[in-house]
Structures are given as C-alpha cells and as structure tokens.
Amino acid sequence: MGRREKPIEATEPALGRLAAWLREQRERAGLTYRQLAARTNYHATTLQRAASGHSVPNWKVVEAVTRECGGDLKTARRKWAQANYWAHVPRPSGSRRLRPPRRVDPQQADSFADLRRAMHEMRRKADWPSLKELDRRARDKGGRLPASTLAQVLKGEAPLHKPVFLAYMEACQVREVRRALWAEAWDRTNNARTPAPVNSRTHHSEFARAMQSSSGGTSTEILFRLWVTLRNSLAAERAERAERADRADRTDRAGDPGQSAAERAEGTDDTPSVPV
C-alpha cells in the first residue's frame, strides 16, 4: 500500500476542487501513480503535482488522467477551466474568492478595471491561450502583443492602450460585432477621464483607492510603489514651500518684518498625511 497523500492546500477553491476530483478518479480506477504514469506516459511526479492543488496543471495532463481513469471529459474540462480562470484573475492579497466577479457588459463598462475584467473573460472563453500564443496570433495579423507588456496590462500595472486592446480581442477570437462594442467602451472610458493636477492630493487619492479596492486585486507591490510615490511627492512639495518661504523671507527682510514668510507658510499645509 502506497503512502497516504498529503492534504490538499489550494489557494483557490476551484483549484482545490480540481485536485480533489483528480484524486477521486484515480482512486475509483484503483490505480497507483506509477501505474497511471505507465499508461499516460507522464512521470508519476507530474501526476502527483497535478492532484496536489499547488498550481493549475496542464490540460493535457488532466485529459490523460481522465481518459485512463474512465472519467467524464466534459466535467474535467469544466473544472480545469474554472481553476485556470481563478489562477489568472487578480484578487486582493490574503483573500479568497467565493464567487466570480460580475460580468461586464460593454455598454455599461465605465472604467479600465472593467475592461481588464472583460479581457480575462475573453481569454477564458478562448480556452486560456498563453501570452506567447496571443503574441503569435497578433503577429500573424500584423500586430504585436509582447508577453511581458500584456502581463503587466492584465495585472493593472501598465496602461491599457487601444491598439493593445484591439489586438488582444482579435487574438482571443472575439466576434467582430463584440469587438466594435468594446472599442466604443474603451473610447467612452478614455474620454471620461478628466485631467487633474498631479500633486500630492492626486497621489493620495490613487493610494486610497488602491487600499480600498477589492475588485481589481491590487498587489502589495503596487501599493508599495504608490506609497513611495506619495511620500516623495509630499517631500518635494514641502521642500518647495520651504524654498518659497526662504525667498520671501529674504525679500521682506529689508522692510517691516511682521509675520515671517516661514510663519505665514506654517499652518497652510493642507496636503494629506501619509504614514512613513
């Protein structure tokens, strides 16, 4: 009798369900991992890893296990697609998803976060092609979708430019009618943005939104970058105020001193505070 398998410790419920289902199929067929490896031509370690819940296995591995164990391929495909979907969709650090995010209608999309969620849904419907595969498809159409750039766009770490959005939809084989609706959604979202003065208040608002975000899945790394930007912006504005006060103090030194420029500047700092 082989050693007892370790408990499944999946970071996503869908991934845990896939791992449990694979274990159930193997046990129902009465096969050990070595016997299954001999039938599928995959190493036993690969098969054990697929049923561990640590990461999403390759679909070919799941398909081979299901066939050899006499399982239902439609069920296997559905469970694998769900696990793969949640593995790619960003989520807030330290949280577990209990339900999928709302599906975005192109006529109701009003933010770039909505457009990115739609991009994940498009990729899911296209059976999750790899980023390299999407780049290859885009090149065949005369476009470009560099994998590194696309990965940052999907995570929300890079701006979503319209040429990238259009090339991505075509690579995911989205119907032309739907592509037109999503292109209009991008235009509407982009035009709705009103330019605001870039100062400490702007950075503070971005940082606050990122801290409160529960749908975009803001990573700790992005939060740290926003915090550093906010801290540097505050430091730069304080240095600029001090320099202005010093210049004004030197200008007023020959006349009636009254209240010094430094004193006038003190108490006018209405910029938001940030923990350092």
pLDDT one-digit tens code per residue, 146-158: 988 888 888 778 8
pLDDT, tens digit, for every residue of 213-248?
A: 544 455 566 656 666 776 777 777 777 788 888 777
Residue 133's identity, in one-letter code, is E
Cα–Cα distance list, 185 to 58, 113, 119, 158, 214 (Å): 34, 12, 13, 19, 22
Q: What's the mean per-residue pLDDT of the chain?
A: 77
Average pLDDT score over residue span 159-187: 92
**Least confident stretch, 126-135, 191-200, 234-243:** 191-200
Residue range 91-114: mean pLDDT, rounded: 65
Of 174 and 226, more confident: 174
Express as a percent the part of the chain with pLDDT over 90. Answer: 20
Is residue 63 classed as helix, strand or coil in its secondary structure? helix
**Contact (CB, 8 A) for 126 and 85:** no
Tell me the range of 65-69, 120-124, 221-225 where mean pLDDT is highest: 65-69
Using 50, 70 and 90 to split pLDDT, how confident is the model at 177? very high
* Alpha-carbon gap, residue 222 to 132, rounded angstroms: 24
95: burial class by Cβ within 10 Å (0-12, 13-18, 19+)? exposed
Between 214 and 24, the more confident residue is 24
Q: Which residues, including other chains, have CB under 8 Å from residue 48's CB and lie 6 or more apart?
A: 5, 33
Cα 271 from chain centre:
30
In sequence order, the 6+-apart residues with CB closer than 8 A to the CB of 24 are: none
Task: With H, G, I as helix, E, B as strand and everything else as coil, classify residue 17.
Answer: helix
CA distances from 86 to 77, 82, 123, 127, 210 (A): 14, 6, 12, 13, 21
What are the start and end residues of each CATH 1.10.260.40 domain in the chain? Answer: 13-88
The pLDDT assigned to 136 comes to 92
How many residues are recorded in the chain? 276
Token digits of residue 106: 């192109």
Burial 230-265 (b: 16+ CB within 10 A, else e): bbebbeeeeeebeeebeeebeeeeeeeeeeebeeeb
- Percent of the chain at pLDDT above 70? 70
pTM score > 0.75 for this model? no
- Does residue 29 surpass a pLDDT of 70? yes
Q: Of 114 and 221, which is predicted with more confidence?
A: 114
The CATH code for residues 13-88 is 1.10.260.40
Q: What is the pLDDT of residue 125?
A: 81
Given a cut of 60, whether residue 129 has pLDDT beyond it is yes
Mean pLDDT of 133-139: 91
Q: Say what the pLDDT of residue 220 is.
A: 62
